[in-house]
Amino acid sequence: MLSFQQDVGPGLAGRVIYVDQTHDIVLAPKEVVLTFDDGPVPKNTVSILDTLDAFGVKATFFMVGTMAHDHAAIGAEVARRGQTIGTHTYGHVDLSKLAPAAAGAEIDKGVAAVAAATGAMPHFFRFPYLSESRGLDSLVAKRNLIPVGIDVDSIDYRPASQQVLVNRVMAKLAKRGGGIILMHDLQARTANFLPSLLTELQINGYKIVQLRPGERFAASPPAGFP
């Protein structure tokens, strides 16, 4: 496990928001939500989990179905550590380029793969490439999934130093006052810069909010699943 001893002030962990619909995600100033797309993968995802544990905070992992299938033990570990599970389709396909029936099937297959790997039904959903439309929103809603967008793109998929990545995220947060941060556990650089980012968030008085499914999901899995 990672250990961070630097005294940087009050803890990072904030409140939990129980979400029934996307509009329930309302953040106060200095509140952020950490999200990670495209995993799970053995080394990077585990490193990220260790960092989150060390700081005592939770994130939402939007898993790609193929990755969850191939690395089911890692997906299960994400759930075991109390992180929030989301789905990101089965093959990270741009749904806007598919016919409605094919798009729906891609969503369903992703949900099934992530649920099988993690043992947790994913109620949160993120569109690949953030490509959505009214028609796609309807497909997601019919499946009792909660679409989650982003406010701050870390752009961690492009080569950059840890300091550049931290500075980029912090500058964007400063302009907005907080928000939902997009990162990718597929990337080693993300695992590497995350401790520095969390330290900087803590120094600057931010709180990390966890998203959890709301009451309507207590006995209601996504449509089409037992």
Q: What is the pLDDT of residues 193-204, one digit of tens each?
A: 999 999 999 999
Residue 89 placed within a domain: yes
Residue 17 placed within a domain: no
Residue 97 placed within a domain: yes
Residue 13 placed within a domain: no
Which pLDDT value is given to residue 222?
61
* CB-based burial label for 18 (10 Å; 0-12, 13-18, 19+): middle
Assign 3-class secondary structure to 115-128.
HHHHCCCCCEECCH
- Tell me the angle at which helices 134-142 and 100-118 cross, rounded to the nearest 10 degrees: 40
Q: pLDDT at residue 6 above 60?
A: no
CB 3 within 8 A of CB 148: no
Which pLDDT value is given to residue 3?
37
Residue 40 placed within a domain: yes
Q: Mean of the pLDDT values across residues 120-133?
A: 95
Residue 185 placed within a domain: yes
Indicate which CATH number applies to the domain containing 203.
Answer: 3.20.20.370
Which pLDDT value is given to residue 217?
87
Domain span holding position 194: 22-215
CB 113 within 8 A of CB 80: no
Q: pLDDT at residue 92 above 90?
A: yes
Which pLDDT value is given to residue 1?
36
Q: pLDDT at residue 219 above 70?
A: no
Which pLDDT value is given to residue 106?
98
168 Rama sector, left if φ>0, alpha if ψ -120 to 50, beta otherwise: alpha
- Phi, psi at residue 200, to the nearest 5°? -65, -40
Which pLDDT value is given to residue 221?
57
Peptide bond preceding 222 in cis form (omega within 30 of 0): no
Q: How confident is residue 105, by pLDDT bands cut at 50, 70 and 90? A: very high
AA identity, residue 85:
I
AA identity, residue 24:
D
Residue 222 placed within a domain: no
Q: How many domains does the chain have?
A: 1
Residue 125 placed within a domain: yes
